[in-house]
A and B are shown apart, each in its own frame.
Chain A
Amino acid sequence: MTQINKNKDAITWETFSEGLWVNNPVFVMLLGMCPVLAVTNSAINALAMGLATMFVLLASTILVSLLSDFIPKQVRIATYIIIIATFVTIIDYVIQAISLDLYNALGAFIQLIVANCMILGRAEAFSSKNKPLKSIVNALGMGIGFTFALLCLGVVREVLGAGAIFGIDLFGENFQPWVVMILPPGGFLVLGGWLLLFDWIKQRQAKDEEQEGRANVA
């Protein structure tokens, strides 16, 4: 039993990397879609949203994993939601203090981080069942995975839709921006495109492995 306990609590590379690729919250689990599509019309907004979400995820993970022993399970969801809402309010004020322009660009979507099912999902499925340190490592991975996914979308949409990246003009005067990409349909199409790409890569890998397997048997 002690042996199993040890293994269960051990922090491995997988604890961290799970969120980066294998179970990427956006590309694989399709969680927290509303900020993913709504605020990724430029790279800087995407980055800010990713970092804000990561902060809320980390802070609520710490609190949830520390308090999980004291929280009666009938009221656990209510408690998690209160904790998350608290940190979202905090980050809302912090962003206002850092830059009003950024705050105006993100609008109500900062407050909508509360309804990001990824954060509640992580609290329920991981933080409440694991030791604080392990939960933090996992949340960090998830947060980076989420930010990375947002950036993937933000960069593509800004380059195509505004001909710029992080506000720096790329193509000069003659570029006719593909405005639809920074409009709502662009969000759906670009995310759909990324998913297609990843599915295709995965299928290729599976096929290669299958062939290798066959070759080995032969």
Chain B
Amino acid sequence: MSSAQQSMQQPDSPTTRMILVLTGIAMLSGFLVVLVAQLTAPVIAENQRIAIEKAVVKVIPGATTHKEFYLEDGKLVTEKQNQDSDSIYAGYNAEGKLLGVAAKAAAQGYAGMIYLLYGYEPSCECIRGIKVLKMAETPGLGDKIITDNNFQANFDALDAKVDIANRSLANEIVTVKAGTRQHDWEIDAISGATISSVAVGKALNESAQRLMPQVLTQLHVLEQSEVIHDAN
């Protein structure tokens, strides 16, 4: 009590002291925050890398290792030059054979952005699996895009063939009403989670339209890279 009484009996503090205290606290908090941000940064980066690694192995069936490439000005390179360039993950089996590529996709869902990773198999030109990296969809409804097996089955072999001119996909990936899927490039929506399902389709379509025509012309870069890697 004595300390509290003292501070109560003090005359109103002069402005300088207020500013001094506030500045001091602000500096202390700035120091603490920067310290923690610096300390945790490598751990967080490592966690994110592991999450991507797990996701890549999941969306490319049979893959055991992966390598990250960056798509810059239509060329696949191993060194990142541009901050905003897209990452392409090439997945290989134990013998070093290229099985497929994975890329990120994103679209606005029901309660925020949905971030996905999807696996693309060049031999069948189809999407072989998706993994949700981050989302905030309603538990019990929108999060069925992760838990619903029927929905996941859409991506066993989702058609994403590149058109003859090699500029975009031959057929746009679209989400259709639950149970009305007729073509291989359509996604059956989950009833009760329509907006989330549509967002998944939209994200895949946008990303595959943009990236895959470019990637398919440069598969040799992905294959060769692993050969060189093996020789070392």
Give me the interface of A with B, judged by CB distance under 8 Å: 4-5, 8-9, 41-42, 67-75, 78-79, 82-83, 85-86, 89-90, 93-94, 96-97, 99-100, 104, 107, 128-131, 161-162, 177, 179, 182-183
In the assembled complex, the Cα of A202 lies from the Cα of B204 at a distance in Å of 56
In the assembled complex, the Cα of A67 lies from the Cα of B43 at a distance in Å of 32
Report whether A5 and B36 are in contact in the complex, using a CB–CB cutoff of 8 Å: no
The 9 A-B pairs of least Cβ separation, nearest first, read A72-B13, A86-B29, A97-B43, A97-B40, A179-B140, A93-B40, A90-B36, A129-B4, A8-B1
User: Does B141 lie at the interface of the complex (its beta carbon under 8 Å from any beta carbon of A)?
Assistant: yes
Report whether B3 and A93 are in contact in the complex, using a CB–CB cutoff of 8 Å: no
Closest to B36 in A: A90
In the assembled complex, the Cα of A32 lies from the Cα of B139 at a distance in Å of 22
In the assembled complex, the Cα of A99 lies from the Cα of B46 at a distance in Å of 11
Number of interface residues of B (CB under 8 A): 34
**Pairs across A and B, CB under 8 Å, 13 listed:** A42-B139, A69-B3, A69-B7, A82-B29, A83-B29, A86-B32, A100-B47, A100-B51, A104-B136, A130-B4, A177-B140, A179-B140, A182-B139
Q: In the complex, which of the residues B2, B8, B12, B36 contacts A93, with contact meaning CB atoms closer than 8 Å?
A: B36
Report whether A89 and B44 are in contact in the complex, using a CB–CB cutoff of 8 Å: no
Report whether A74 and B40 are in contact in the complex, using a CB–CB cutoff of 8 Å: no
Given contacts A79-B22, A89-B33, contact A5 B2 (CB under 8 A): yes
In the assembled complex, the Cα of A70 lies from the Cα of B51 at a distance in Å of 46
Given contacts A82-B26, A93-B37, contact A73 B139 (CB under 8 A): no
**Taking the nearest CB of chain B, how far is it from the CB of A84, in angstroms?**
10
- Residues in A with CB closer than 8 Å to B22 are 75, 78-79, 82
Report whether A97 and B18 are in contact in the complex, using a CB–CB cutoff of 8 Å: no
- Residues in B with CB closer than 8 Å to A8 are 1
Closest to A179 in B: B140
- Residues in B with CB closer than 8 Å to A86 are 28-29, 32-33
Closest to B26 in A: A82
Report whether B18 and A74 are in contact in the complex, using a CB–CB cutoff of 8 Å: yes
Report whether B139 and A128 are in contact in the complex, using a CB–CB cutoff of 8 Å: no
Closest to A184 in B: B138
- Residues in A with CB closer than 8 Å to B134 are 104
**Taking the nearest CB of chain A, how far is it from the CB of B166, in angstroms?**
37
Report whether A75 and B18 are in contact in the complex, using a CB–CB cutoff of 8 Å: yes
In the assembled complex, the Cα of A177 lies from the Cα of B139 at a distance in Å of 13
Interface members, chain B 1-56 (any A CB < 8 Å)? 1-4, 6-8, 12-13, 17-18, 21-22, 25-26, 28-29, 32-33, 36-37, 40, 43-44, 47-48, 51
- Residues in A with CB closer than 8 Å to B135 are 104
Given contacts A9-B1, A74-B18, A161-B140, contact A90 B47 (CB under 8 A): no
Report whether A107 and B18 are in contact in the complex, using a CB–CB cutoff of 8 Å: no
In the assembled complex, the Cα of A201 lies from the Cα of B6 at a distance in Å of 43
Report whether B7 and A68 are in contact in the complex, using a CB–CB cutoff of 8 Å: yes
**Taking the nearest CB of chain A, how far is it from the CB of B114, in angstroms?**
11
In the assembled complex, the Cα of A85 lies from the Cα of B29 at a distance in Å of 9
Report whether B26 and A75 are in contact in the complex, using a CB–CB cutoff of 8 Å: no
In the assembled complex, the Cα of A94 lies from the Cα of B32 at a distance in Å of 13
Given contacts A5-B1, A183-B140, contact A100 B48 (CB under 8 A): yes
Known A75-B22, A183-B141; 20 more pairs at CB < 8 Å:
A68-B4, A69-B7, A70-B21, A72-B17, A73-B7, A74-B18, A79-B21, A85-B29, A86-B32, A89-B37, A93-B36, A93-B37, A99-B47, A100-B51, A104-B134, A104-B136, A128-B4, A129-B1, A179-B140, A182-B140
Report whether B7 and A93 are in contact in the complex, using a CB–CB cutoff of 8 Å: no
